[in-house]
């Protein structure tokens, strides 16, 4: 008999899990209290940058991020084919710029281990950098170019996943209102044989129902975009103060703050001012130009910075996929594959070991 799966949360993680579960033949319902992608996922810059994000060592988190990047070509193909919508996946590569000669040595150390993992990273001197990225300030003492990194337009990926889910017969309950102890598993149609919690920064609302500790908290990310009809950026650019990503609509997205503000999603002058000053400095052609748009989202952060992916009840009926913090867009395909394997009971020993560090049970029960 076809098992039914209830996915709680309609951000990138919930939609990806719903899509993959539906592709594998489950009967899926997704419940979202607000708008699909209306929280962190719709706010994200869409960077798929496992090497830039993980500078220290090839640990289990880096390997998870890298395995997800490798899934992206097939993932994008499947989502676009099923939905008929483009997600604007750009294989732009990235430039990590630095200002001082002293930064070269640590950069070389990073490149050594990252190239063993397929980054194909190269050190770029100032003259070569000017050719690669003419719009960048001449202040740069060099950069590390990583051709393997790419980006998507996160709101479009959300829309395409939602359309693909609908095409596959997923029942989507958008604007479902408050979801919690009262209606999960009891009221029709919000129920399923199996439940996958993908509620981002709001996952703690399930602590009481499940009787477990879920150490997730919101970290606000303030972000803005500049109109740039000339399209002055070819690559994603990272500096120590901000990053910039050029989108097909001629906008340059610049992010992002990391601040503790509870569930507040307003932007502040201080948060956006820091990004504007960094833009003035690194992209001279945008000097003095105010951001056309600014917004903020709540990253779901965990106590140890790692996501929570795995069963949360002994029988495996309830699975959690949350706490993806800064990398939820990057990690969405691998999370969806792992969750679908868990639903099917087809997770092999190697993948079980790979996902073990992210088991939600690593935090003590309440």
Binding site for ligand FAD (CB under 6 A): 8-14, 32-34, 38-41, 43-47, 179-180, 198-202, 205, 221, 223, 255-256, 297, 299-300, 322, 324-330
For ligand FAD, the closer CB: 34 or 147: 34
CB of 12 to ligand FAD, least distance (A): 5
CB of 127 to ligand FAD, least distance (A): 29
For ligand FAD, the closer CB: 5 or 45: 45
CB of 59 to ligand FAD, least distance (A): 17
For ligand FAD, the closer CB: 142 or 157: 157
List for the chain the helix, strand, coil content (%; round to 5).
Answer: 40, 20, 40
CB of 66 to ligand FAD, least distance (A): 13
Q: Which of 243, 265, 240 is nearest to 252 (CA)?
A: 243
CB of 103 to ligand FAD, least distance (A): 23
Q: Which residues pair with 6 in a beta bridge?
A: 29, 195
Q: How far is CA 256 from CA 7, 124, 274, in A?
A: 29, 25, 9
CB of 46 to ligand FAD, least distance (A): 5
Residues 155 and 178: their CA atoms lie apart, in Å, by 23
The 8-class DSSP code of residue 290 comes to P
For ligand FAD, the closer CB: 11 or 135: 11
Token pair belonging to 361: 């049970």
Indicate the length of the chain as a whole number. 366
For ligand FAD, the closer CB: 142 or 146: 146
CB of 221 to ligand FAD, least distance (A): 3
Q: How far is CA 57 from CA 1, 69, 101, 219, 230, in A?
A: 45, 17, 23, 24, 38
Residue listed under structure tokens 């950026």 = 233
The 8-class DSSP code of residue 171 comes to E
For ligand FAD, the closer CB: 41 or 83: 41
Three-state DSSP class for residue 287: coil
Residues 257 and 251: their CA atoms lie apart, in Å, by 19
For ligand FAD, the closer CB: 90 or 142: 90
Query: Within a 10 A sphere around the Cβ of 108, how many other Cβ atoms?
Result: 12
CB of 68 to ligand FAD, least distance (A): 9
Q: Which residues pair with 29 in a beta bridge?
A: 6, 171
**Upper half-sphere CA count for residue 323 (Cβ side, 13 Å):** 20
Q: Which of 22, 29, 35 is nearest to 174 (CA)?
A: 35
For ligand FAD, the closer CB: 145 or 325: 325
């Amino acid at each position: 008999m076809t098992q039914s799966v209830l996915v709680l949360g309609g951000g990138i993680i919930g939609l990806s899990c719903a899509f993959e579960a539906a592709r594998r033949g489950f009967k899926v319902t997704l419940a979202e209290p607000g708008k699909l992608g209306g929280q962190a996922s719709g706010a994200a810059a869409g960077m798929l940058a496992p090497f830039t994000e993980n500078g220290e060592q090839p640990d289990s988190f880096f390997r998870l991020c890298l395995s997800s990047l490798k899934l992206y070509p097939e993932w994008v193909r499947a989502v676009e084919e099923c939905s008929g919508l483009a997600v604007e996946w750009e294989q732009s590569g990235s430039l990590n710029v630095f200002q001082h000669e002293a930064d070269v040595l640590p950069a070389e150390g990073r490149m050594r281990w990252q190239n063993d993992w397929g980054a194909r990273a190269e050190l770029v001197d100032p003259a070569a950098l000017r050719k690669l990225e003419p719009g960048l300030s001449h202040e740069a003492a060099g950069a590390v170019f990583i051709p393997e990194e790419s980006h998507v337009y996160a709101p479009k990926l959300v829309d395409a996943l939602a359309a693909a889910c609908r095409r596959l017969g997923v029942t989507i309950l958008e604007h479902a209102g408050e979801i919690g102890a009262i209606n999960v598993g009891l009221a029709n149609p919000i129920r399923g044989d199996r439940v996958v919690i993908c509620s981002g920064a709001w996952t703690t609302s399930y602590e009481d129902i499940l009787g477990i500790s879920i150490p997730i908290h919101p970290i606000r990310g303030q972000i803005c975009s500049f109109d740039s009809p000339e399209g002055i950026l070819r690559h994603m650019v990272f500096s120590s103060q901000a990053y910039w990503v050029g989108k097909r609509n001629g906008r340059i997205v610049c992010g992002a703050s990391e601040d503790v503000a509870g569930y507040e999603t307003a932007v502040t002058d201080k948060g956006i001012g820091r990004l504007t000053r960094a833009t003035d400095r690194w992209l001279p052609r945008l000097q003095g130009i105010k951001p056309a748009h600014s917004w903020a989202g709540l990253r779901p952060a965990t106590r140890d910075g790692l996501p929570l992916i795995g069963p949360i009840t002994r029988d495996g009926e309830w699975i959690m996929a949350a706490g993806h913090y800064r990398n939820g867009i990057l990690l969405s395909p691998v999370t969806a594959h792992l969750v679908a394997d868990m639903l099917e009971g087809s997770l092999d020993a190697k993948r079980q070991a790979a996902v073990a560090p992210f088991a939600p049970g690593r935090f003590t029960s309440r």
